[in-house]
Amino acid sequence: MRLVPPTDSLYLWAESQRSPAHVISLQIFEPPPDAGPELLDEMYAAMTDRDAVKPAFRRRPYRSAATAGQYAWAYDEDIDLALHVRRVALPRPGRIRELLEHVGDFHATLLARDRPLWQAHLVEGLADGRFALCTKMHHASFDGVNMARHVLGGLSPDPGARGCAAPWITPSRPGRPATPAATRRPTVTAIGKGALRVADQLGGTVKALAGAGVSSVRDGGPTLPFSAPHTILNNRVGSARRFAGDSWPIARLVDVARATGTSLNDVALTMCAGALRAYLIERDALPGSSLVAMVPVSLSSTDPSASARDGNSWAAVLCNLGTDIPDGLTRLRGIHCSMRRGKRLMSELDPVTATALSGAVLGGVLPNTLPGPLPPRPAFNLVISNVPAVAKPLYLNGCALTDAYPISVVTDGQALNITLVSYRDRLSFGITGCHRSVPHLQRLLVHLEDALRDLEDARPGS
């Protein structure tokens, strides 16, 4: 066993029955025209090859006196894939609606702590002949970038390639992996060193927060935690989830970014801000001050083809979304400046301090896990993340990946999450919300299109 790093263990400590800390990758595949009835049988057999499971997918959390009450990773030699991989048939008529309802139900259930923190459903029965793979992974194990690397790493750009693999299967099939030395039982010395690392991180956090406070009093300082207003998105959540998703041509967003001197990510954030403003106006719930989003920014390479790593390595940048501003173009410029200030702050910190500061920002949601009323002001209103994918078409043993959506974390005080992922020439928006706190979630998709169209109409030279 080895200790779970502090930033990763936050997801374990904060998790509850109503607030699972896992993410689902929804991938929809189209079989080749010559596929036979045995296709999914063969695919399921390959997905349940116990000897080929990656080491990262054999870890389970563990606490004991030997770990001084901290979470550690144990290594499951005899993983039972019957508990992790299931075949599921959609009810008729097998529309995307039925698939998304299944995904919502799948997301609402916690991952069992007595086995590795992942589960998958191979879903058949879509009316158009396609099938889906839903892979649920705990955020304590991977950040979004590395989840994407596992999810996409077993696919191939060659439609004729065979031997492709599910996210938890080693594509090269080298045989049963050996137990890593890092999974041995932690010693008192290791626990002591871990405590010293935590102390160092806390020291860096205090220094970084002080620097941020000084910067904030100057013109153009970064957005700080607890500057967000309370909204209907920041109430207690139930266990039921609702998911909506759609995609837009990346070229449309790039055209706006070029015309305004901003970035693709700025335009995507402005689409989200405009959609949230319109949605809250519909609910007669728009606050007078702007919503604040926490935008994770990777501290390592975002290359989706790089080797996947364990754990989380990202910085929390707070972005003022300008939802109090009626004009979309003005809102875009404000978001561009807010993100630039936040990234500049993180760039001035070493990775350890940036991670510790981000942990402090995330720690602002921990009071939400306690019984009683929520704090009067949230640390931030929601998370909006952008996970890079690939521009080329990908295939799973000849089956074309047609759609890819992320279904992310919703917690008490954070009833809505928007996660973006780019694939081929389109940018997909995956919207996850509490069934009770965020009614009529699909309306956000309409408002996303309206927000983009407003930016296109208002851009210089249009």
Residues annotated catalytic, as ranges = 139
Q: Give the distance from CA 36 to its chain's centroid.
A: 35
Q: Are 359 and 211 in contact (CB under 8 A)?
A: no
Count how many Cα atoms sit within 13 Å of the Cα of residue 230 in the half-sphere of its side chain.
10
Instruction: Work out whether the CA dihedral 200, 206, 208, 211 comes out positive or negative.
Output: negative
In 10 A of CB 154, how many CB atoms?
Answer: 21
Joined tokens for residue 178: 């050996």
Secondary structure of the chain as H, E, C letters: CEECCHHHHHHHHHCCCCCCCEEEEEEEEECCCCCCCCHHHHHHHHHCCHHHECHHHCEEEECCHHHCCCCEEEECCCCCHHHCEEEEECCCCCCHHHHHHHHHHHHCCCCCCCCCCEEEEEEECCCCCCEEEEEEEECCCECHHHHHHHHHHCCECCCCCCCCCCCCECCCCCCCCCCCHHHCCCCHHHHHHHHHHHHHHHHHHHHHHHHHHHHHCCCCCCCCCCCCCCCHHHCCCCCCEEEEEEEEEHHHHHHHHHHHCCCHHHHHHHHHHHHHHHHHHHCCCCCCCCCEEEEEEECCCCCCCCCCCCECCEEEEEEECCCCCCCHHHHHHHHHHHHHHHHHHHHCCCHHHHHHHHHHHHHCCHHHHCCCCCCCCCCCCEEEEEEEEECCCCEECCEEEEEEEEECCCECCECEEEEEEEECCEEEEEEEEECCCCCCCCHHHHHHHHHHHHHHHHCCCC
